[in-house]
Amino acid sequence: MTPTPSQPDQPRILLVDDIRANRLAMRRLLSRVDADIVEAASGEEALSACLDQPFALILLDVQMPGMDGFEVAELLSGQGDLSDTPVIFVTANHTDDLDHLQGYRLGAVDYLVKPINETVLLAKVRAFLDLYRARGEMQRLLRQVELYNDRLQQEVAERKRAEARALHQAHHDPLTDLPNRTHFYQMLEQALAAQPETVALIYIDLDGFKAVNDTYGHAAGDALLCAVAGRLRRAFREDDVVARLGGDEFAVLMTGIDRAHRNIPERQATVVVQALAQPFRLSLDGAMVQAQIGASAGVAYGDADGSSADRLMAAGDRAMYQAKHGGKGRVCLAHTADTSERAS
């Protein structure tokens, strides 16, 4: 098996003939085409060469001792990618149509009859080399398209992640990662527009938060707000919306509150006020600090205290301040606060 020196991406032609003189003659003819020539003196050598490297074209002698050209072609046709390699049978002039039919059945693309006509040989070989190069260029372009699509998909995915991060940041408090006031208003408006009679709002304000800030500094205040957010999340249902409105004010949107469970928001607000009255252990620069605060809460209902987000928030806020003025650490209902204000 004798190859010629190889150039990068240079197409290869496999020349298979058991007679050395025939191979030399064919090589001289093929010296005029831009391809590397690999020789094989038997069917076994031809199969070995095909397994080692790809070929643009195989010129395969039919009559060979041992494994003949038909057997080689049949084996190549069952070898996956090798079955796509075009095979031109080179045969003696006494072969009949039955031989040709057998060759085509085994995957031959053409026949050349000995003695070889130089013009015919070169024309056919160049045509197949052009097809090989065109297919290679098409595959190269397809790989480029695949790479471009991969990069495009990565860029689109990253852009979506960036947009999602930006949207999340626009809608959430950067310290506690709870929904912010703007996002809470939007969700409250949507809930009221859908079923106002099932909506409840709990407005919460911390008691004694400023003293923690003044005593231990703003880092302690930030840590305390994060701890408060954690307790609030754990106190409510997964569907309830816990938000930080700003400073030390929080709010909770509860939906699906029917008349049979009308007292749940008030009861839950009482549980939360009690939970926030428990001491907080804060880690500051490796040291543990205990902070003690409290909370006051107001509860308002969508069908009784406000048909819009603004009105319901105002009702909850008034109820919360009523709880503060009444001694802190308490829960007041909005309609109770309104009645007390009218009475005063």
The pLDDT score that the predictor gives to residue 82 is 64
pLDDT for 193 equals 93
Tell me how far apart the alpha carbons of residues 90 and 295 are, in angstroms, rounded to a whole number. Answer: 97
Q: Are strands 287-291 and 108-113 parallel, antiparallel or unpaired?
A: unpaired
Distance of alpha carbon 149 from alpha carbon 307, whole angstroms: 50
**14-18, 102-106, 194-198, 215-219: which has the minimum mean pLDDT?**
102-106
Close Cβ partners of 47 (under 8 Å, ≥ 6 residues apart):
67, 72, 75, 76
More confident residue, 125 or 201: 201
pLDDT at residue 16 is higher than 70:
yes
So where are the chain's domains? 12-139, 181-343
- Reported as a single tens digit per residue, the pLDDT across 166-186 is 999 999 999 999 999 999 999
Rounded to whole angstroms, the Cα distance separating 328 from 336 reads: 16
Residue 147's Cα: distance from chain center in Å?
16
Tokens 């005063």, residue located: 344
CA pair distance 244, 232, nearest whole angstrom: 10
Is residue 285 a contact partner of residue 295, using CB atoms and an 8 Å limit?
Answer: no
Residue pair 58/124 in contact (Cβ under 8 Å)? The answer is no
Element (H, E) at 300: strand 294-301
Strand partners, 60: 16, 89
Least confident of 12-21, 83-92, 129-138, 283-292: 83-92
Cα dihedral 252/258/259/265 (nearest 10): -20
Of the listed ranges 199-213, 270-284, 302-316, 327-341, the one predicted with least confidence? 327-341
Handedness of CA 258, 263, 264, 266 (dihedral sign): positive
How far apart are the C-alpha atoms of 171 and 166, rounded to whole Å?
9
Q: What is the mean pLDDT of residues 278-307?
A: 90
Q: What is the chain's mean pLDDT, rounded?
A: 87
Which tens digits make up the pLDDT trace of 87-135? 888 887 655 555 656 656 666 677 888 888 888 889 988 988 988 888 8
What average pLDDT does range 299-326 have in this prediction? 92
**Residue 65, pLDDT score:** 87
* Residue whose C-alpha is closest to residue 189's, from 204, 180, 199: 199
Residue pLDDT, tens place only, 205-235: 999 999 999 999 999 999 999 999 999 999 9
Across the range 322-333, mean pLDDT stands at: 93
Give the SS3 label for residue 41: coil
With 50 as the cut, is the pLDDT of residue 58 above it?
A: yes
CA distances from 64 to 75, 89, 92 (A): 15, 12, 11
pLDDT for res 313: 95
The type of residue at 250 is F
CATH fold group of domain 181-343? Alpha-Beta Plaits (3.30.70)
Which are the catalytic amino acids?
248
Q: How far apart, in Å, are the Cα atoms of 326 and each of 243, 298, 323?
A: 25, 12, 5
What is the band of 141 on the pLDDT scale with cuts at 50, 70, 90? very high
Question: Given this model, what pLDDT does residue 317 score?
Answer: 96
Q: Which of 195-204, 221-230, 285-294 has the lowest mean pLDDT?
A: 285-294
Confidence band for 259, pLDDT divided at 50, 70 and 90: confident
Report the SS3 class of residue 266. helix
Question: Could you tell me if 253 and 243 are in contact, meaning their C-beta atoms sit under 8 angstroms apart?
Answer: yes
Domain 12-139 class? Answer: alpha beta
What is 45-105 written as a DSSP string?
HHHHHHHHS--SEEEEES--SSS-HHHHHHHHHTSGGGGGS-EEEEE-TT--HHHHHHHHH
